[in-house]
Chain A
Amino acid sequence: MNDRISEKLSILADAAKYDVSCSSSGSKRENVNKGLGNAAGGMGICHAYTEDGRCVSLLKILLTNYCIFNCAYCVSRSSNDVKRAAFTVDEVVELTINFYRRNYIEGLFLSSGIFKNADYTMERLVLIAKKLRTEHNFHGYIHLKAIPGASNELMRQAGLYADRLSVNVEMPTEQSLQLLAPEKNRQDMLQPMHYLKTQILQHQEEKKTSRHLPLFAPAGQSTQMVIGATPENDMQVLLMANYFYKKMQLKRVYYSGYVPISNDNRLPAIGTPVPMIRENRLYQADWLMRFYGFAAGELVAPDHPHLDMDIDPKLSWALRNLHVFPLDVNKADVELIMRVPGIGVGSAHKIVAARRFNLLTHDHLQKIGIAYNRAKYFITCKGPGTLVKDYTPLQIKQQILAMQHSKYQPNFSPQLTLF
């Protein structure tokens, strides 16, 4: 019996690990009536890290890896010769509770292959969340994968029990999706996303007048797309992400560098390196859009549709816009200071707070904790130590590159050519 659970866990954790989302933050679920768990902290907690360095904060598993679909990029696709398994509802509930009680996890991330049809599968996911909430008084974090094509009523119930819902768009463009997952279509994915968005907004409206309304997906929606399996450029990817943030009001878009897992002539061959730098650059760009006030069009544009591989997107933007610099840190707006390479959101706010007491010198800046060796090309401050010379963008770039040593240096070559 235990061996069987252990085997299922191995298979179904293995199959779920390519889902990137591991966020467990941003919910508002408080422990009530001396129940178990609390997801109200605001900050999520990563309880462990895999040997590849990704965070483990949720028990991330598939309910089953049986699947009627045959998407080329997916390990669980129907034509793939892998061991299959399925958990029962109670097994998932027991695992979640027992892992949570030992403080291994923040909660559950439950996805699934599609058995029979969307509704049949979604119904089981919802049942697990419902059992946890109603029978076990569980207030930990639950992230459910919304199955495209499931009925609105099931989506609504999922929203009542889960903290976050996500529908993966899988591919950045419709053409790629058609190529690799001909049985799926874009509209099936956007429809539930749109439905959930409307429900979440409506719920927020009603919350204003009625205090005792139950929660509805308090941590919002997210999605993910696979990067590097198909020929899209970073501009297409980031514009897609921008669409999700602006039009669908998603909380997060995740980018998953394609890990070659199958021999399929539509895809990069097994052994092709995972595009880790590119993935990292996309996350950096995403971060700049969400927290630094950058527009997608400032980071990528038709004349430079790819993010630079050798430098991060903020430095890259600064070098293309040297006319904005140097900034006087004792005078400039905080929004502009945040745009200086080497100064983050936190340091920018510290600078603005501290300069009300003293004119800041480079010594102060260093102690506050900015990356001064980077920032020095773009700022002026009080006293000596500022470096305002007429460097060209290339000179600055080379000087900064000379200071850093990346073990990924060999990977800095442009995107892999696949087709």
Chain B
Amino acid sequence: MHTLVFDGSFQGLLSAVFTVFEYKLQQVQLVTPQQPLPLFGNRQEVITHTAQAQRVWNGLLRYISPEARQQLYKAFLSEQDTMPQILLTYMQYAFAQQAAVEKNFSHPAVLAVHQTAQKVHREKHRMEAFVRFHLTKDQLYYAVVEPDFNVLPLISEHFEKRYADQQWMIYDARRKYGIYYDLTTVTAIEMDFNTSLQQGRNIAAAYDEKEEQYQHLWQQYFAHVNIAARKNTALHIRHMPLRYWKYLPEKQPAR
């Protein structure tokens, strides 16, 4: 049994896969430094190597479609502990079969990757829906989210295309980093943001003078499109799960 310790990044994972093939390792277990190490067997540190990672990444395209490859990345962003191991199994299977294995839904790893990618995709879609920008005094459109999965890398392009003429930032309060668009490019920014701003307190101090008005209008609109005779709370919550409410102005009490 070989234990490979990689740094937890996607590049690191691909480097580990490269190592597995390079040394023809059998029975490999992938762990990150945060995870407990198994007691027995060989233990080896994997150094993250961009060129090696790229070779694995490009190599996949010989057998699987670009969409299927993207699914591997999406599944990785689920941050599930078991996922690196499943991704390794999937890639070993793809390289061994030398075939478009992504459609073999009877294979456990293929199915797991497919289903996890689907979940991450759903969360990505929800974040495209539930990001709510607040306009600050310095004309930055600022939003805070706490997605279940690490989806900021997946939504970046969507917002870049949509809001090409405004400066914006989306901050992931759980993972303590954000993406920032300066009218030219999107960059990732790491920081520990003062979270009291996020709760919408102190709104007058930090936000544009019109901000409160538009939040109020939106609340007003939201209240008036409801048809009371059709009330269906279960359906409402199914579509708009409670965990997102704290960042949605329409679910805050009217000020």
Interface residues of A (CB under 8 A from B): 2, 5-6, 9-10, 13-14, 16-18, 30-31, 34-38, 40-41, 43, 45-56, 59-60, 95, 98-99, 101-104, 137, 259-260, 274, 276, 350-351, 353-354, 356-358, 360, 364, 367-369, 407
Minimum distance in angstroms from A58 CB to a CB of chain B: 10
Cβ of B177 within 8 Å of any chain A Cβ, yes or no, is no
Cβ of B232 within 8 Å of any chain A Cβ, yes or no, is yes
With A45-B125, A407-B234 known, 9 other A-B pairs at CB within 8 A are A10-B224, A40-B161, A47-B130, A50-B222, A51-B233, A54-B230, A99-B218, A104-B250, A259-B227
Query: Contacts of B227 on A, CB cut-off 8 Å?
Result: 17-18, 50, 52, 54, 259
Pick the contact of A101: B133, B226, B234 (CB < 8 A).
B133
Interface residues of B (CB under 8 A from A): 101, 103-107, 111, 115, 125, 128-135, 141, 143, 158, 161-166, 183, 210, 213-214, 216-218, 220-236, 238-240, 248, 250
Q: Is the beta-carbon distance between A51 and B231 smaller than 8 angstroms? A: yes
Pick the contact of B225: A13, A351, A368 (CB < 8 A).
A13
With A36-B166, A52-B235 known as contacts, the answer to whether A6 contacts B129 (CB < 8 A) is no
Q: For the complex, what is the distance from the CA of A234 to the CA of B115, rounded to whole Å? A: 37
Minimum distance in angstroms from A8 CB to a CB of chain B: 10
Minimum distance in angstroms from B232 CB to a CB of chain A: 4
Q: Is the beta-carbon distance between B161 and A102 smaller than 8 angstroms? A: no
Q: Is the beta-carbon distance between B226 and A51 smaller than 8 angstroms? A: yes
Q: For the complex, what is the distance from the CA of A101 to the CA of B168, rounded to whole Å? A: 10
Query: Contacts of B132 on A, CB cut-off 8 Å?
Result: 102-104
Query: Contacts of A137 on B, CB cut-off 8 Å?
Result: 165
Q: Is the beta-carbon distance between A102 and B141 smaller than 8 angstroms? A: yes
* CB < 8 Å A-B pair total: 156
Minimum distance in angstroms from A105 CB to a CB of chain B: 9
Q: Is the beta-carbon distance between A6 and B214 smaller than 8 angstroms? A: no
Q: Is the beta-carbon distance between A103 and B107 smaller than 8 angstroms? A: no
Minimum distance in angstroms from A190 CB to a CB of chain B: 29
Minimum distance in angstroms from A281 CB to a CB of chain B: 16
Nearest A residue to B233, CB-CB: A51
With A31-B161, A48-B250, A52-B231 known as contacts, the answer to whether A358 contacts B106 (CB < 8 A) is yes
Q: For the complex, what is the distance from the CA of A10 to the CA of B218, rounded to whole Å? A: 10
Query: Contacts of A53 on B, CB cut-off 8 Å?
Result: 230, 232, 234-236, 238-239
With A102-B135, A353-B105 known as contacts, the answer to whether A52 contacts B224 (CB < 8 A) is no
